[in-house]
């Protein structure tokens, strides 16, 4: 699909249409409300396997019957000119399937993190989008938060040479029925969920891809009855160029949320660091003070704007594929007890 012309955009009241694929908690509580504040796109359609949810969404967001799809008739979205973008908000194991189907339908795609459950799937998604001339972005909302944008500056020279980064993102999860505890749906445990935020933060703080997983360890399992296919916790250290190290931890057995960095000219900390709102930060020179933003609004607007202006999004599919390669290497290091080199030219 070519970039939209000015005439086409004007016929859409200067906004692109977006459809949410999956109407779970994140779609309902974060993405849909964020779409009410967006400048360059608006909620036009839904795709769901839960018919009982449809009346609420139609009433709340004015979605007509013609823009409501099931997973079975999803391909019919190809002929719907009101919808330009689909946002995949499904369990991890379905990200590749629906991204490829959306691309084949000629729709641009935003896919939630993690991009998929294997590097092979990530590559298939990128290839499908390239083949169909549509764009692929990943739901990395924190790239658009001012606190995290400032940590990028701090890590990349504002306080001198960066030495190390540390982070922890953990949450309590002990519901045996949760899909996140089933490897066939999630692809792994907390590393594939909250842990990817810590890996992402390390990469954009340093401003480079890591060259190796120096070490990694699984934590002890306190609930073997529910943590039988995925890890309960895991920690590891990434090695970056110039001797920079980034240590991260994630777990489903505790609540923790922070990011710290140290350079030769000072240090900084965010806590909470990865939340949708309420992020707080300080540096060795004093507190950070930035206006709170709606991260999801800025994230989706940037993707829509990248389409309208024919530019690359800040968070492309290639970034998501890089991160999956890092996550898989962390698992390998934890399983083998050995360092795992990363081919930076492929990240």
Point out the residues that are catalytic: 113, 197
Residue among 85, 84, 91, 127 at smallest CA distance from 109 = 85
- Planar angle of CA 60, 61, 66, nearest 5 degrees: 120
Cis peptide preceding 114, ω within 30 of 0: yes
> Which residues are CB-contacts of 94 (< 8 A; sequence separation ≥ 6)?
88
Joined together, the tokens standing for residue 315 give 């968070």
The CA distances from residue 127 to 27, 58, 135, 140, 221, in Å, are 26, 34, 11, 20, 38
Residue 215, CB-side half-sphere exposure with 13 Å CA sphere: 4
Rounded to a whole number of angstroms, the distance between the first and last alpha carbons of the chain is: 26
- Helix, coil or strand: residue 298: helix
- Rg of the chain taking only CA atoms, in angstroms: 20
Contact 251, 192 (CB under 8 A): no
């Amino acid at each position: 699909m070519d970039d939209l012309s000015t005439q086409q955009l004007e016929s859409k009241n200067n906004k692109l249409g977006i459809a949410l694929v999956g109407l779970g908690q994140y779609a309902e509580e974060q993405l849909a409300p964020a779409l009410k504040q967006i400048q360059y796109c608006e909620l036009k359609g839904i795709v769901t396997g839960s018919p009982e949810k449809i009346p609420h969404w139609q009433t709340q967001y004015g979605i007509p019957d013609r823009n409501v799809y099931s997973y079975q008739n999803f391909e019919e979205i190809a002929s719907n000119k009101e919808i330009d973008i689909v946002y995949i908000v499904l369990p991890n194991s379905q990200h590749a399937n629906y991204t490829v189907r959306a691309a084949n339908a000629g729709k641009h795609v935003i896919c939630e993190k993690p991009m998929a459950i294997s590097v092979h799937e990530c590559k298939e998604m990128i290839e499908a989008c390239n083949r169909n001339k549509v764009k692929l972005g990943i739901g990395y909302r924190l790239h658009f938060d001012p606190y995290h944008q400032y940590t990028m500056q701090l890590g990349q020279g504002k306080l001198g040479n960066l030495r190390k980064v540390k982070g922890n993102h953990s949450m309590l999860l002990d519901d045996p029925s949760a899909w996140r505890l089933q490897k066939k749906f999630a692809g792994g445990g907390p590393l594939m969920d909250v842990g990817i935020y810590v890996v992402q933060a390390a990469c954009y703080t340093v401003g480079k891809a890591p060259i190796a997983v120096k070490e990694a360890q699984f934590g002890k399992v306190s609930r073997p009855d529910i943590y039988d296919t995925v890890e309960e916790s895991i920690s590891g250290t990434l090695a970056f160029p110039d001797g920079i190290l980034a240590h991260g931890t994630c777990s489903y057995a505790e609540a923790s949320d922070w990011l710290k960095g140290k350079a030769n000219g000072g240090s900084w900390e965010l806590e909470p660091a990865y939340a949708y709102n309420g992020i707080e930060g300080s540096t060795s020179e004093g507190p950070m003070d930035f206006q709170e933003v709606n991260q999801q609004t800025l994230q989706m607007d940037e993707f829509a704007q990248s389409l309208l202006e024919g530019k690359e999004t800040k968070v492309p599919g290639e970034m998501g594929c890089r991160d999956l390669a890092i996550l898989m290497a962390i698992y390998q290091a934890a399983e083998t007890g050995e360092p795992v080199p990363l081919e930076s030219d492929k990240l």
